[in-house]
Amino acid sequence: MALAKEIRAELERPEEDQLRELGLALGRGAVLGDPARRAKDMLGGLNDQLRPLICDRPLVRLLYEEKADAVFLVAAIADSVSSLFLTLGISISLATFAVLVFRAGVGELCRPVWR
């Protein structure tokens, strides 16, 4: 329940704010260049690691194909990527990270797997 509430709040936040937060977290608060750009680059670089975690999960595919409520799909993404997220040691919330992955495009990420 608490995660769903946090996901709803994150879905309402502007993506640019979330990207900036991630970019600053990646730089440990140091500001060299555009933090949002740094975050986008980092997320794009994780596609090969994210794809099997997300796209191989039947629940994610079902929720995506059925156009389920975004909260449910983001929660499934969060569950799928939680181990990678912990490994990365990023100091933002899992909900924020999962929403950013969702916004980057699950369909595009999984297209090679779901053909």
Q: What is the pLDDT along the chain (115 residues), one digit of tens a residue?
A: 678 899 999 999 999 999 999 988 886 655 677 889 988 998 999 999 999 999 999 999 999 999 999 999 999 999 999 998 888 888 899 999 999 999 999 999 999 999 8
The residue to which tokens 């949002």 are assigned: 36
The answer to whether position 36 is within a domain reads no
The answer to whether position 41 is within a domain reads no
The answer to whether position 34 is within a domain reads no
The answer to whether position 52 is within a domain reads yes
Question: What is residue 7's predicted lDDT score, i.e. its pLDDT?
Answer: 95
Q: For the whole model, what pTM was predicted? A: 0.89
The answer to whether position 35 is within a domain reads no
Number of domain units in the chain: 1
The answer to whether position 40 is within a domain reads no
Q: Which domain holds residue 60?
A: 2-27+47-114
Question: What is residue 1's predicted lDDT score, i.e. its pLDDT?
Answer: 63
Locate 111 and state its tokens: 């297209």
